[in-house]
């Protein structure tokens, strides 16, 4: 039986061939760079890139002046990421993105791209990632994704129905369990 790590390790050598994966297309790379600057404007943020894959976003984040830790389940993806990040001070760890092997560290940002759909228990992963954030919004409502929420958990959990709907359409009506 093929594990998730085996699947992604087999995909690693050609993963960056997709324009949105390797960010080799200058227009796509510039769009991601711009988006990351919007989301994480101040240099120096401590960022956890869960499911970092080959490290494409970690490169951009490091170039923007952030301290980045990447985590991926696949030894093949980690090997690609370490090669790509050789000129940057980025820590790349082999481990489960849903429960990153980072001990008691906390982060300013937890970033996940091309990942939530593939997790066996996305809700548990989102809860874990929320617990890794340095910020606690407390009782003051904040505006996240255009909605006023009292807890970050409320905003994150509101993303799940959209994610499952998209997964369902991609998989022909069968959302991930």
* Residue 8 backbone phi and psi in degrees, to 5: -70, -30
Give a yes or no: residue 64 inside a domain. Answer: yes
Neighbours of 39 (CB within 10 A): 11
Chain segment 126-146, per-residue pLDDT in tens: 889 888 888 655 555 444 444
Chain segment 3-25, per-residue pLDDT in tens: 889 998 998 898 888 877 888 88
Q: Which domain, by its residues, includes 72?
A: 4-113
Give a yes or no: residue 171 inside a domain. Answer: no
Token output for 36 = 């990351």
The H or E element spanning position 40 is none
Tally the domains of the chain: 1
Give a yes or no: residue 133 inside a domain. Answer: no
**150 vs 56, residue with greater confidence:** 56
Give a yes or no: residue 124 inside a domain. Answer: no
Give a yes or no: residue 156 inside a domain. Answer: no
Q: Output the pLDDT for position 16.
A: 84
């Amino acid at each position: 039986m093929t594990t998730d790590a085996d699947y992604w390790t087999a995909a690693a050598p050609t993963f960056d061939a997709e324009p949105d994966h390797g960010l080799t297309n200058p227009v796509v790379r510039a769009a991601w760079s711009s988006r990351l600057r919007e989301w994480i404007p101040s240099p120096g943020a401590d960022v956890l890139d869960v499911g970092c894959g080959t490290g494409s976003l970690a490169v951009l984040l490091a170039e923007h002046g952030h301290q980045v830790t990447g985590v991926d389940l696949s030894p093949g993806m980690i090997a690609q990421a370490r090669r790509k990040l050789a000129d940057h001070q980025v820590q790349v760890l082999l481990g489960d993105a849903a429960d990153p092997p980072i001990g008691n560290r906390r982060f300013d940002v937890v970033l996940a791209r091309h990942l939530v759909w593939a997790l066996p228990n996305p809700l548990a992963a989102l809860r874990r990632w929320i617990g890794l954030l340095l910020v606690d919004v407390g009782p003051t409502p904040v505006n996240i994704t255009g909605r006023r929420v009292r807890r970050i958990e409320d905003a994150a959990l509101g993303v799940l129905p959209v994610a499952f709907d998209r997964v369902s359409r991609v998989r022909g009506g069968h959302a991930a369990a």
